Structures are given as structure tokens and as C-alpha cells.
Amino acid sequence: MSGAFEPIPAARPVIGEREIEAAVRVLRSGMVVQGPEVAAFEEEFSEVVGGRHCVAVNSGTSALYLCLLGLGVGPGDEVVVPSFSFAATANAVRLVGAEPVFADIEADSFCLDPAAVAAAVTARTVAILPVHLYGHPAAMDQIMPIAQRHGLAVVEDACQAHAAALHGRPVGTFGDAGCFSFYPTKNMHSLEGGMVATGDADLARRLRLLRNQGMEQRYANEIVGANVRLTDVAAAIGREQLRQLPQWTRQRRAHAKFFDATLTAVATPPVADGVSHVYHQYTVRVDGDRDAVAQELRERGVGTGVYYPTPIHRLRPFRDSPGVRGELPETERAARQVLSLPVFPSLTQAELERIAVAVNAVRVAA
């Protein structure tokens, strides 16, 4: 196949020379576990979240799980979550022994519908866990007042939304804590990795204990903890990626702008007022046979993704649970219709045009 016709993947994670050199530098130093690189990564990432305390861990899921543990969420408690998300969002709630209660999403943002959140609150509710899905911030300006009215904690799942903002305020800074993932396909990565951002110094200290066997000083264990530390090798890669994040975010936005102006056969993603979207995914709605459209695009050399074909409340571990209360019509509709197009930073103008031509030429789209 000639280069021009190589298939375009749905995502293209970057492991460039800078990342490789950073990893080799740390490996050669012989000091590979959590150390100075992790500390520097935390300090540098703090700039993305308005100077909040940052605690690095080994994944986004660990970040969510540790946060809920650190906030004292546990058995008997309910946490309001969207069902239209990656399973990690609800897994974290179950892992601490609490019950995820599923609320519906808004049609436009694909994020939690504040009215549905308010309706889901019971006497057992202790927290709300909004997800900034695809890089679009959830309606935090409406969700925070609900939390305040009921005295609930808020943990933001910002795993797809590094540096997204709402009315100029970065995601991860609205609630008690914000959780980020550095999985390879995310807007930036550290191979695997995660970060908690919080304005609460006590919570930050508890998280530091929880990630390291309950110790700050070696063998002076204060509480029961796990080992969810990030390595210095991963942190060095994360630091290199963080330096490139502003440029990559600009590129994702430019690609999205091109698609907004060019795509005619599908519904492009609306952006709410005051929203600074970071386009982890560029997700359109197909009002027809979505899977046939994906197949047709694949044949035309355009990779796509469906995030997520099955809402969490219909996955086996959750479907018969007490947190499934009534219908989630917008969640179901999104699961049937969504299709994410390639939007990764290194797409070329020729690739963007090929994607647009292919999408606009799709026959099965209604």
C-alpha cells in the first residue's frame, strides 16, 4: 500500500525520542521507583489544575479509587455516577464497597444531566462523580450547588479531559478532587499512570499515605494502605508529554474545527457556552446503522471507535444492582448512536480531508 492510503487509526499514542530519552535517563540512573521524577511531575501537573496539590498514582482508576477511600466513602454509601462512561468510573465506587447510582446524561454534552443528578440523591448519597466525557466538561456550575445543598463530596473523573475548562476554570478544580489518567490513548500519557488533584491538603496527605502502604516515613506506618505508586520512569515520560500538551490540545481543537465546518452526513458535537473542550474524542452521532457506518469507514481506511457501546448499568457487574433506577433514555440513545473519529494531534491535513470525504460519502447514514 502506498503511504497515502495507509489506514488512519482511531488513535496514535506518541512515544517519541524525548520520551525514550527521558526513560533511558531514569533507567541509567538506577533509581526507578517513586522518587524525584514523580515529585517533579506532580509539581508541574499542578499548573494544569490551578496550583492544587497533586498526587501521582499508577492509573486513573487508582486515582478514583484512592480518592473515594480517602474521602471515607464505603459500604452503605451511594455515589451518583453517569452510566455513559468507561466502567472504571463505577468500578471505583464498587471497589470501596459503595453503590454507584446511575443518572442520565445531557444530549448535547454527553455528561451528567444536573436535573437527573438532583433526582438521584437519597439519604444514602455521599458523593457525586461527574465525568468530563470526551474532553467536554460536565455542567459543574450546576452540579456543585446540588452537592453543596445536600452536603455531598464531588470527585471529578477528568481522565479524558486534561486542561479542559468551564468558564475559564480548569476541570479537576471544581470538586473535592479531580482524577486524571495517563493511559497511552489519553490526551497525554505516562505509559500507565494517574493523578489526583485536590485543594484539600489533608486529603492530599491521606492519598500519599494510601498509595504507599500507609507510610510517609519508611516503616512508620500510620494507616492501612496499598501500593499504587507511579514509577520514576513513567513520571519522566509523563513530564515530557506534559510539555507537549498545550500544543497537542491546540491541534485537537483545530482538527475539531475542521470537522465541524466540513462534516455534513452526521451530527457534529455541540459545545456549550463557556466550555473549553479538549477533544479527547471527536464524537458524532449517527442516526442510522452506526455499526454499518463504522464498517464502511474501515473499508475506506478510516478507523473509528465506539465509546461506549454498552452503558455501565447494563454491564454484568451492575445490571441487577440497586443503583439501576428507572430508564436512562439519553444514555441508551448515545450508546446506539456515538461514533468517534480520529482526532489525535499528529493527523495531517491530507488525513483530515480523507476522513471528511469518507464520512460525507457514507451511504448507510440516514
Ligand X SMILES: *Cc1c(COP(=O)(O)O)cnc(C)c1O
Catalytic residue annotation? 186
CB 187 within 8 A of CB 45: no
8 A C-beta contact, residue 242 and residue 188:
yes
Residue 355 to residue 337: CA distance in whole angstroms: 18
- Residue type, position 342, single letter: P
- What is the rounded CA–CA span in Å between residue 79 and residue 73? 9
Asked if 311 and 335 count as a contact pair (C-beta separation under 8 A), the reply is yes
Question: What is the rounded distance in angstroms from the CA atom of residue 189 to the CA atom of residue 182?
Answer: 4
CB 178 within 8 A of CB 196: yes
Confirm if 352 and 254 have CB atoms less than 8 A apart.
Answer: no
Nearer to ligand X (CB atom), residue 162 or residue 354: 162
Residue found by looking up cell 499515605 in the block = 209
Q: Which is nearer to ligand X, 258 or 308 (CB)?
A: 308
Residue 352 makes contact with ligand X by CB under 6 A: no
User: Binder to ligand X among 131, 228, 347, 359 (CB under 6 A)?
Assistant: 131
Q: Which three cell numbers stand for residue 185?
A: 490513548
Window of 32-40, 155-163, 221-229, 236-244 that interacts with ligand X by CB under 6 A: 155-163
Among 83, 109, 160, 304, contact with ligand X (rule: CB under 6 A): 160
Q: Is 88 helix (H, G, I), strand (E, B) or coil?
A: helix
Buried b (16+ CB within 10 A) or exposed e, 56-81: bbbbbbbbbbbbbbbbebeeebbbbb
Q: Is 135 in the site for ligand X (CB under 6 A)?
A: no
Among residues 34, 83, 89, 212, which is the contact residue for ligand X, using CB under 6 A? 89
Shortest distance, CB of residue 180 to ligand X, whole angstroms?
8
> Which CB atom, from 71 or from 356, has the smaller least distance to ligand X?
71
Q: Between residues 60 and 238, which has the closer beta carbon with respect to ligand X?
A: 60
159 binds ligand X (CB under 6 A): yes
C-alpha cell belonging to residue 325: 433506577
Residues 6+ apart with CB under 8 A from 304: 10, 294, 297, 298, 339, 340, 341, 342
Among 83, 109, 181, 190, binds ligand X (CB under 6 A): 181
Measured between alpha carbons, how far is 186 from 229 in angstroms, rounded to an integer?
A: 19
The number of residues that bind ligand X (CB under 6 A) is 14
By beta-carbon proximity to ligand X, the closer residue of 193 and 225 is: 193
**Is the Cβ–Cβ distance between 194 and 60 less than 8 Å?**
yes
Residue whose CB is less far from ligand X, 173 or 354: 173
Minimum distance, C-beta of residue 160 to ligand X, in the bound complex (Å): 5
DSSP label at 99?
Answer: E
Task: Work out whether 194 is an interface residue with ligand X (CB under 6 A).
Answer: yes
Closest distance of CB 85 from ligand X, Å: 5
Between 89 and 276, CB nearer to ligand X: 89
Count how many residues are written for the chain: 366
CB of 138 to ligand X, least distance (A): 11
Question: Which residue in 45, 183, 318, 344 binds ligand X (CB under 6 A)?
Answer: 183
Does 157 engage in binding with ligand X (CB under 6 A)? yes
Q: Please state the closest distance from residue 144 (CB atom) to ligand X, in A.
A: 19
**85 is an interface residue for ligand X by CB under 6 A:** yes
User: 86 is written with which cell numbers?
Assistant: 468507561
Compute the least distance from the CB of residue 131 to ligand X, in Å. Answer: 5
Binding-site string for ligand X from residue 35 to residue 64, where x marks contact by CB under 6 A and - marks none: ------------------------xxx---
Tell me if 88 contacts ligand X by CB under 6 A. Answer: yes
Binding site for ligand X (CB under 6 A): 59-61, 85-86, 88-89, 131, 157, 159-160, 181, 183, 194
